[in-house]
Structure 1
Amino acid sequence: MTAGAAAAERRTGDLIATLLLIGFSVGAAVMLFFVSLLWAIGTYDNTLAIVLGGYLPLALAVLGAVAGIVALSRKHTAFWYPLIALVLSAVVWLIAAAIAR
């Protein structure tokens, strides 16, 4: 296998991983947003927790998606950006859940 074929194979894997992580990250952020809206309907009345748990994961997912797409267009390793956004979204939501209780 030549170096060009190995680079093309690695590029294809990065593209697939990045697109899957972008989709999963956005889907998880939307799910976390709706769960945070349930806090507003329920007994939890903490605006900071609702904003942190609802809007910040959406913003992080969008930023991770944009950064991943930009890194793909510049031929850099791109799957890290949506992966970091997904992990940060989960951490922020868990902090918001602790504040809401």
Structure 2
Amino acid sequence: MTYYQPFPAPQAPFVPVRRSHTADVVVTSMLITTYVGGFVLVAFFSLFWVMGTDSCSYQTCNYDNLTWAYILTDLVGGLVLLSTSIAAIVLMVRKHIAFWVPLLGMAVQLVLLVISFGLLDSIVA
């Protein structure tokens, strides 16, 4: 017995397959590596910021600004590095363009560094 269907069976809609962009993966990986190296360098040199307090006595220095400079550069900068690395990896796994994420993280890190330098400049009253 043959079964006749007057209308064709419904088909799934066409969904284009996203292809991984090899160049984007390579560039994003290189930018993340560069960002990690730059962050390690900045974190190392932040150890020497305490020398900015050598010329002041107990009452002429604002040590809170030094603390905030460390927090902004090392702690917040590390959180920005971690979050941008995770976001870039997730975007690469989902096959989206991700090279802009480490660039954004580097820009945020640069802004944090500039703010920290402003705080370091205001340590000695």
Short-chain TM bin: 0.7 to 0.9
Are 1:34 and 1:54, in contact at CA under 8 Å, matched by a contact in 2? no
Per the alignment, residue 21 of structure 1 pairs with 31
By how many angstroms is 1:43 displaced? 2.3
By how many angstroms is 1:25 displaced? 0.7
Per the alignment, residue 82 of structure 2 pairs with 62
Q: Distance in 2 between matches of 1:28 and 1:14?
A: 21
Where in structure 1 are there 5+ consecutive unaligned residues? 1-6
Q: Distance in 1 between matches of 2:46 and 2:113?
A: 9
Instruction: Specify which of 75, 87, 90 is matched with residue 95 of structure 2.
Output: 75
- The C-alpha deviation readout for 1:16-42, integer Å capped at 9, x for no partner, is 1100010011111111111212113x1
Per the alignment, residue 105 of structure 2 pairs with 85
Where in structure 2 are there 5+ consecutive unaligned residues? 1-18, 54-62
By how many angstroms is 1:76 displaced? 0.7
Question: Comparing both structures, which one devotes a greater share of its residues to helix?
Answer: 1
Per the alignment, residue 94 of structure 1 pairs with 114
Partner secondary structure for residue 98 of structure 2: coil
Are 2:52 and 2:120, in contact at CA under 8 Å, matched by a contact in 1? no
Q: What value does the CA root-mean-square deviation take over the aligned residues? A: 1.4
Q: Distance in 2 between matches of 1:91 and 1:98?
A: 11
**Matched pairs, number:** 92
Q: Distance in 2 between matches of 1:100 and 1:35?
A: 13
Q: Distance in 2 between matches of 1:73 and 1:33?
A: 29
Are 1:33 and 1:58, in contact at CA under 8 Å, matched by a contact in 2? no
Partner secondary structure for residue 52 of structure 2: coil
Amino acid across the alignment from 1:33: A
TM-score calculated relative to the size of structure 2: 0.68
Partner secondary structure for residue 78 of structure 1: coil
Q: What fraction of aligned residue pairs are identical, expressed as a percent?
A: 30
Larger radius of gyration: 2
